[in-house]
Amino acid sequence: MIVADLVRAVLVFVLVVSHTSTVTAFAVAFGLSTGSLLFNPAAASLVPDVVVDDDLVTANSALWTTAVASQIALAPLAGAVIAAFGVGAAFAVNAASYALSAAFLTRLRAGRHPGDITVGGWAAVREGVVAVRSHPLLARLAVVQILASLSAGATSGLLVVLAADAFDVGPSGFGLLLGAIGVGAVIGPALFRRSIKPGQRRWLFGPYALRGGVDLVLATATSPLLAGGSLVAYGMTTSTGTIAYQSTLQAEVPDRIRGRAFALFDVLWSAARLVSLGAGGLLADAIGIRAVYVLGGLLLLIAAAIGWCAPQRQREPLASH
């Protein structure tokens, strides 16, 4: 986590010095994404070493709410910094934030002694894959995640097009639609934190059905107010589903391979999302933006149906291999 933060700080600082080159911007973006794929699984894997199992949902809810609330609050501030001091200053603040994160992490006592990994290289990757495949609930969750990502990549990337074409709103209206998702993402954990249980199908897979319904509403709606209200619900279900998913992996997968399990799910999500982004653009040109949202909603409903057939949480954690 510390190394990922320091590398990302250096990468962003490159944009402080030179932020006019498109090639540099793409290279830095690639590096930042790679850093996130290293940081996020490690961070998610570390939570069970910091809190007891009964507090996993509470901890994940707090982390999620803090992250979303920070984005909502700081995005406008970033615009103000750019307007007042320029793009370079905004990137300087960004680089400093990564450096501060690394400094805070050096004082964290947990995570100083990694699990004993007996295999390395591709054998370690295979071990993580086998661990997920051998667990009925996690194997089902992996399939559901791929289907959900195939939907979410296209619909999230095309929301700006839908806002302009279907709801006839400009940049400020699109910003409000994004804000509606953020508001829902904050409200969800506040309302349902005490009810979410790791491994329960209704919290793992129910949100996919609700998000599928929201996509179908967006595919047929003409009112920006209806779209905004639906996106609040979308944010609520996304947040609660993510918290349930993270808490389930933390509770079900043993310490030794938890990082690889989280990394596998991240790779599956990112790969499917990349396919969805490309296919969504082509489909929008071929069959129309609303049809893409219909397909996205149906994919989420199928994901929910597949997940609902999954077994309930096992009594014992996944056995180590």
Per the CB < 8 A criterion, the answer to whether 70 and 39 are in contact is no
Give the gyration radius of the chain's Cα atoms: 20
Q: Give the domains, in start order, of the chain with CATH numbers.
A: 2-105 (no CATH), 121-308 (1.20.1250.20)
CA distance 218 to 212: 10
H or E element: which one contains 2?
Answer: helix 2-17
Residues of the chain under the 50 pLDDT cut: 314-317, 319-321
Return the exposure string of 152-165: e unless at least 16 CB atoms fall within 10 Å of the residue's CB, then b.
bbbbbbbbeebbee
CA distance 24 to 87: 15
- Mean pLDDT of the residues in the chain: 88
Query: Residue 311's pLDDT is what?
Result: 58
Q: Coil, strand or helix: which one is 112?
A: coil
CB count within 10 Å of CB 66 equals 11
CA distance 284 to 296: 12
Per the CB < 8 A criterion, the answer to whether 182 and 68 are in contact is yes
pLDDT digit string (tens) for 108-160? 887 777 666 666 677 777 777 887 888 888 889 899 999 999 999 999 999 99
Query: Residue 317's pLDDT is what?
Result: 47
CA distance 37 to 263: 7
